[in-house]
Structure 1
Amino acid sequence: MPGLPVLTCGSCDALLLIDRGTATKVGESGTVPFDVSPIQLGTTLLVDGVRGEIVGRERWGWDGGSWNEWLLQLPGDAHRWVAEEAGQYMVMAPASLHAAEAEKLAELGGKGDAALGERVQVGLRWFTVADIKSIRCLASEGHLPAVVSSQLSGASRIDLRSA
């Protein structure tokens, strides 16, 4: 077990929170569909010279389709999310935001497509808003860092690209 706090049950689709050796059902994980992606649970990847293993997946949807985000567990309890779009893979790391940065991203999320192409600074780096979608979680599997129920919907997803 990778030491992550959330586990999905492959037989009953329960979303389980693991705390001090006790599993508590906190929601439904949904059923992930078969996927032809070369990335699957157990796949090992090398990122920035560090080898990790895919231990979880979330399936997200929007009005135009769906996609996977795979959780890559790295040594030292670090993790990254791996996603694929049009044959290109992205490795995403958590970012700590200052209040002003979080407010700016929330504002951009509310603008929808009108924000496409806008530039935003996060820390010392500049990014361009490449995509904004209203999304919903369809399903999940494996180990996860946080509870995201298959009932979650209406969240905004903002994709930023390095400027």
Structure 2
Amino acid sequence: MPDTHHCPTCGAPLPIRNRFVKVVTCDFCGGVSLYDGARLDPTGRSVDLVKIPSPLYLDATGSIGSRAFRVLGRAIYEYDGGFWTEWFIEIDGAGRAWLIEDEGQFSALQLRDVSAPLFEGVRPGDTIKVGDLDVQVDEIGEATVVGAEGQLGVEILPGETIRYIDGSAGGTEISIEYTEAGIEVFSGKPIQRSAIVIDDETY
């Protein structure tokens, strides 16, 4: 069962759906709180969602291939090319992941505990060492979190800007995010839209 807390801003119930959640957005008032595993700490920030069409939605369930999943939250980023969405999901038998949605394309990435180079000095076309992988750099840039809802597994807040490096190593996609909290590396695979099956909504 979810561990139920209450929003420190409006008092509404906030069931924590995963013990690895770090950021929680209230469904009622939009207030954003940090979660340390025991209590909610209000940040004083609130969110309004950018309207981006998507087959996914908060609390959606379904399957990716043969594995069931549930959507716990999402963050929306704005960059020079427009917007992309990162859905924080829990996959049966595989743990937590981010389902990245960008212009109808999907990738499933998971956090990895590996080393990565500093952002400065890296250019598109470079080959960099990420853990034991030689990664071809495809894109570098900056993006701002412009919306969020539900519960997220990284400590990133609306209004914050990240720097990122995206690349690939063979068939593996690599994304490195540079935030005030440090450097995080994610790796995974592209997912065909046809492989994502979403259950009918129940009321």
Q: Does the pair score TM above 0.5?
A: yes
TM-score, normalised to structure 1, is 0.79
The reply on whether 1:23 has 2:30 as its aligned counterpart is no
2: CA distance, partners of 1:162 / 1:85: 20
RMSD: 2.4
SS of the residue 2:17 aligns to: coil
2: CA distance, partners of 1:7 / 1:142: 6
8 Å contact kept, 2:71–2:87 = yes
TM-superposed deviation, 1:137? 1.1
Note the residue ranges of structure 1 that are not aligned, 5 or more in a row. Answer: none
The equivalent residue for 1:130 is: 138
Q: Where has structure 1 moved over 4 Å in runs of 4 or more? A: none
1: CA distance, partners of 2:24 / 2:93: 19
2: CA distance, partners of 1:39 / 1:66: 16
The equivalent residue for 1:89 is: 106
Pair 77,161 (structure 1): closer, same or farther in 2 beyond 3 Å: closer
TM-superposed deviation, 1:53? 0.7
Aligned pairs (5 A) from 1:2-151: 2-3=17-18, 4-19=21-36, 22-47=39-64, 49-75=66-92, 78-98=95-115, 102=116, 104=117, 106=118, 109-111=119-121, 115-151=123-159
Higher mean alpha-carbon deviation, 130-139 vs 29-38, is at 29-38
1: CA distance, partners of 2:80 / 2:131: 32
2: CA distance, partners of 1:94 / 1:87: 22
TM-score, normalised to structure 2, is 0.65
Percent of residue pairs identical: 24
SS of the residue 2:154 aligns to: coil
Note the residue ranges of structure 2 that are not aligned, 5 or more in a row. Answer: 1-15, 171-203
Bigger share in helix: 1
Pair 123,48 (structure 1): closer, same or farther in 2 beyond 3 Å: farther
Pair 90,20 (structure 1): closer, same or farther in 2 beyond 3 Å: closer
Q: What count of residue pairs does the alignment treat as equivalent?
A: 153
Once the two structures are superposed, what CA deviation does each residue of 1:94-133 show, in whole Å capped at 9, x if it has no partner?
A: 11123xxx2x2x2xx3246xx1122223233332111111
2: CA distance, partners of 1:38 / 1:91: 15
TM-superposed deviation, 1:142? 0.3
